[in-house]
């Protein structure tokens, strides 16, 4: 037999997706010897020896039929002479080597159907185990602390496998072969219910007990994979009104989690594509139109024709609905105003104890916080409103690669950060409004984490032109500390440029209707018609200028904006005084606004 050898490097999303077990099985199938191992840069390295035709078949299988969750961005094969040094095929311990770029770990994946079946099967050893997962599902991004993706580098390291789990982990024929999140009720994370001051509630079944309490109208903070949710009933208005009071959210809609797709159809219109997305392994919050017989509380999304709905995405969520008649639960991110979603048990007790009745905790740390994603469908096209769990950190591929590692900061509200490296734009999870120290630290940590996960060096940093944004100050810090180039980008131009990058356009004329942005002339811009190419942009046209009394305050209190616009054509004194209850300081504030408007004339 003529023996040949091939060294293969696979880049993409290839760790944490069952890739090594897949390689192992294929190597056996094609009679090849050698090894596979994870590398410290999130890529996978394979060395095989055997018949040349078998190696070719093996590589073809890899290319054309990878595991469902894997994404291969690049695959290199180097052939050489056989050394005959292997006696079989092995999965080796990971190697720290991190010299390659272009790979990243997967996002969190919703519970798969096999695990769901086992969760409900009394004969299965993971029957009713709330954190049941396998190679095809479970948390990834939210548990990883560093590469390579091995259990010891995730928050699962605090839960050593019991002998039975360990046996499954080592069995090539098992679905949990080399699954880093493998655990059971004996060895895995535990769940417990406490009162709002942290005293444990003595009950046999904390999850179902929590579900029942929600059904009775209590408000419960529930720890998930990427942070805490605050949950309550959807058919009772009283707890939702209470929640609005404590969360200081008078109007903003709450997302809900429904028991099943069939249930969703009883209160919302669901197209074929929306149903597909709701049940996909991303399982985002999908904005749906309320149906004519909508019967949930009007306080969930007051005055709106649509409602944000998701389906359970962990065993814990599935079990919450078991002992309760509620069709859905309010499930809103637990975060104090302008702070990121809470992930730590003690912090939750401290910051949420005053607003919830109970806590449903588990004892696994969350390494990366990650809110739920929000999407809307236009027929079958997805418009992403918040790209977070299930999407982040999967990159978007751009047609014009960058030879520098560039980090984009975002502006100030609803920030996500983006790391451009080669042809990959790696977008972070939702960071939030960078107005507090907490959100700023979260942003900083996320930038570092993404750079580590993608093995990228930050050589340039792009920020908004606004000199006072916290993101601008952070960018200036990075410029000083890392010695990288600082690029200031006009807000509306950034929006157009990102569209151009996503769609591979070299130049474009765009209408950018985003509200407020700091203009290159130091004025507030908004509603811009821009011409842009890769190097520069021109302001071709814009909406008529309007006075913004109080600057940024006018974006928060639209009545200031309205007074400004109206004052151009009529005397607004009487009108504004009549409406001054919408301003925090009422008459006094209205007088200042009027003074200001008079002075402009």
Q: Which is nearer to Zn ion, 156 or 255 (CB)?
A: 156
Smallest gap, in angstroms, from Cβ of residue 4 to Zn ion? 37
Q: Which is nearer to Zn ion, 69 or 407 (CB)?
A: 69
Which of 77, 100, 187, 385 touches Zn ion by CB under 5 A? 187
Locus of tokens 């905790």:
361
Smallest gap, in angstroms, from Cβ of residue 102 to Zn ion? 27
- The phi and psi torsions of 185 (rounded to 5 degrees) equal -65, -20
Closest-CA residue to 521 (of 545, 498, 497, 486):
545
Smallest gap, in angstroms, from Cβ of residue 124 to Zn ion? 12
Smallest gap, in angstroms, from Cβ of residue 165 to Zn ion? 3
Can you tell me the distance from the alpha carbon of 30 to that of 216, in angstroms, rounded to the nearest whole number?
59
For the segment 167-186, give every residue that binds Zn ion (CB under 5 A).
Answer: 184, 186
Q: Which is nearer to Zn ion, 165 or 450 (CB)?
A: 165
Residue 522 in tokens: 């130091």
Which of 165, 210, 375, 501 touches Zn ion by CB under 5 A? 165
Smallest gap, in angstroms, from Cβ of residue 172 to Zn ion? 17
Can you tell me the distance from the alpha carbon of 410 to that of 217, in angstroms, rounded to the nearest whole number?
39
Q: Which stretch binds Zn ion (CB under 5 A): 135-143, 223-231, 367-375, 421-429?
A: 135-143
Q: Which is nearer to Zn ion, 134 or 418 (CB)?
A: 134
| Cβ pair 125, 316 in contact under 8 A | no
Q: Which stretch binds Zn ion (CB under 5 A): 146-154, 156-164, 326-334, 508-516?
A: 156-164
Exposure of 138 by Cβ count < 10 A (0-12 exposed, 13-18 middle, 19+ buried)? buried
Smallest gap, in angstroms, from Cβ of residue 209 to Zn ion? 24
Q: Does 156 bind Zn ion (CB under 5 A)?
A: no
Question: Who's near 437: CB < 8 A, 6+ residues apart?
Answer: none
Question: Three-state SS string across 226-289, please?
Answer: CCEEEEEECCCHHHHHHHHHHCCCCCCCCCEEECCHHHHHHHEECCHHHHHHHHCCCCCEEEEE
| Cβ pair 357, 218 in contact under 8 A | yes
Q: Does 69 bind Zn ion (CB under 5 A)?
A: no
Q: Which is nearer to Zn ion, 3 or 162 (CB)?
A: 162
Number of residues in contact with Zn ion under rule CB under 5 A: 10
Q: Which stretch binds Zn ion (CB under 5 A): 122-130, 155-163, 222-230, 380-388?
A: 155-163
Q: Which is nearer to Zn ion, 70 or 572 (CB)?
A: 70
**At 299, is the secondary structure helix, strand, or coil?**
coil
Smallest gap, in angstroms, from Cβ of residue 83 to Zn ion? 38
Can you tell me the distance from the alpha carbon of 76 to that of 100, in angstroms, rounded to the nearest whole number?
12
Smallest gap, in angstroms, from Cβ of residue 136 to Zn ion? 5
H-state helical runs in 83-205: 113-119, 163-170
289 upstream amide cis, omega within 30 of 0: no
For the segment 104-123, give every residue that binds Zn ion (CB under 5 A).
Answer: 112, 115
Q: Which is nearer to Zn ion, 172 or 541 (CB)?
A: 172
Residue 489 in tokens: 């980008």
**At 198, is the secondary structure helix, strand, or coil?**
coil
Q: Which is nearer to Zn ion, 69 or 576 (CB)?
A: 69
Smallest gap, in angstroms, from Cβ of residue 152 to Zn ion? 17
259 upstream amide cis, omega within 30 of 0: no
Which of 57, 162, 486, 487 touches Zn ion by CB under 5 A? 162
Q: Does 134 bind Zn ion (CB under 5 A)?
A: yes
| Cβ pair 43, 102 in contact under 8 A | yes
Q: Which is nearer to Zn ion, 184 or 462 (CB)?
A: 184
Q: Which stretch binds Zn ion (CB under 5 A): 161-169, 433-441, 483-491, 513-521?
A: 161-169
Which of 23, 62, 109, 137 touches Zn ion by CB under 5 A? 137
Output the CA–CA distances (angstroms, integers) from residue 237 to 241, 299, 330, 417, 418, in the order listed. Answer: 6, 6, 11, 37, 39
148 upstream amide cis, omega within 30 of 0: yes
Q: Which is nearer to Zn ion, 89 or 141 (CB)?
A: 141
- Please give the residue ranges that form the binding site for Zn ion (CB under 5 A): 112, 115, 134, 136-137, 162, 165, 184, 186-187
């Amino acid at each position: 037999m003529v023996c040949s050898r091939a060294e293969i490097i696979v880049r993409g999303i290839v760790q944490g997706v069952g890739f090594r077990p897949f390689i192992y099985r294929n190597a056996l199938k094609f009679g090849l010897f050698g090894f596979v191992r994870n590398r410290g840069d999130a890529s996978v390295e394979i060395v095989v020896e055997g018949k040349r035709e078998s190696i070719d078949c093996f590589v073809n299988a890899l290319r054309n039929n990878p595991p469902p969750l894997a994404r291969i961005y690049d695959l290199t094969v180097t052939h050489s002479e056989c050394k005959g040094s292997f006696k079989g095929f092995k999965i080796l311990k990971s190697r720290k080597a991190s010299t390659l770029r272009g790979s990243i770990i997967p996002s969190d994946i919703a519970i798969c159907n096999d695990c769901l079946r086992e969760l409900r099967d009394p004969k299965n050893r993971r029957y009713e185990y709330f954190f049941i997962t396998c190679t095809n599902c479970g948390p990834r991004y939210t548990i990883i602390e560093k590469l390579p993706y091995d259990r010891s580098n995730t928050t699962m390291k605090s839960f050593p496998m019991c002998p039975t789990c360990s046996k499954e982990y080592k069995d090539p024929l098992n679905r949990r072969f080399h699954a880093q999140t493998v655990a059971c009720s004996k060895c895995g994370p535990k769940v417990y219910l406490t009162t709002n001051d942290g005293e444990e509630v003595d009950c046999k079944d904390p999850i179902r007990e929590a579900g029942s309490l929600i059904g009775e109208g209590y408000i419960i903070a529930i720890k998930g994979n990427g942070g805490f949710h605050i949950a309550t009933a959807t058919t009772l208005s009283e707890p939702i009104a209470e929640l609005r009071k404590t969360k200081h959210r008078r109007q903003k809609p709450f997302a809900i989690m429904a028991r099943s797709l069939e249930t969703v159809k009883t209160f919302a219109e669901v197209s074929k594509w929306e149903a597909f997305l709701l049940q996909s392994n991303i399982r985002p919050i999908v904005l749906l139109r309320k149906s004519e017989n909508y019967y949930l509380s009007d306080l969930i999304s007051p005055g709106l024709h649509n409602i944000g709905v998701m389906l359970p995405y962990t065993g814990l969520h599935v079990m919450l609905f078991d002992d309760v008649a509620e069709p859905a639960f309010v499930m809103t991110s637990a975060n104090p105003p302008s702070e990121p979603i809470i992930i730590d048990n003690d912090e939750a007790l401290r910051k949420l104890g005053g607003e919830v009745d109970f806590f449903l905790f588990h004892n696994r740390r969350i390494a990366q916080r990650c809110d739920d994603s929000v999407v809307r469908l236009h027929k079958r096209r997805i418009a992403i409103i918040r790209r977070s769990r299930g999407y982040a950190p999967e990159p978007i591929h751009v047609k014009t690669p960058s030879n520098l590692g560039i980090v984009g900061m975002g502006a100030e509200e609803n920030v996500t950060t983006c790391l451009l490296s080669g042809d990959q734009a790696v977008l972070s999870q939702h960071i939030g409004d960078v107005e507090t120290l907490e959100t700023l630290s979260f942003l900083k940590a996320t930038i570092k984490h993404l750079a580590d996960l993608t093995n990228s060096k930050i050589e340039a940093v792009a920020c908004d032109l606004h000199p006072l944004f916290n993101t601008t100050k952070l960018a200036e810090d990075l410029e000083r500390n890392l010695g990288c180039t600082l690029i200031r980008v006009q807000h509306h131009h950034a929006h157009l440029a990102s569209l151009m990058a996503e769609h591979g356009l070299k130049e474009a004329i765009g209408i950018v209707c985003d509200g407020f942005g700091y203009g290159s002339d130091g004025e507030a811009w908004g509603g811009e018609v821009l011409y842009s190419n890769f190097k520069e942009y021109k302001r071709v046209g814009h909406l008529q200028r309007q006075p913004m009394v109080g600057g940024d305050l006018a974006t928060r209190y639209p009545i200031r904006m309205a007074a400004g616009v109206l004052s151009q054509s009529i005397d607004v004194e009487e009108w504004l005084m009549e409406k001054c209850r919408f301003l925090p300081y009422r008459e006094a504030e209205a007088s200042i606004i009027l003074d200001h408007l008079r002075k402009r004339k």
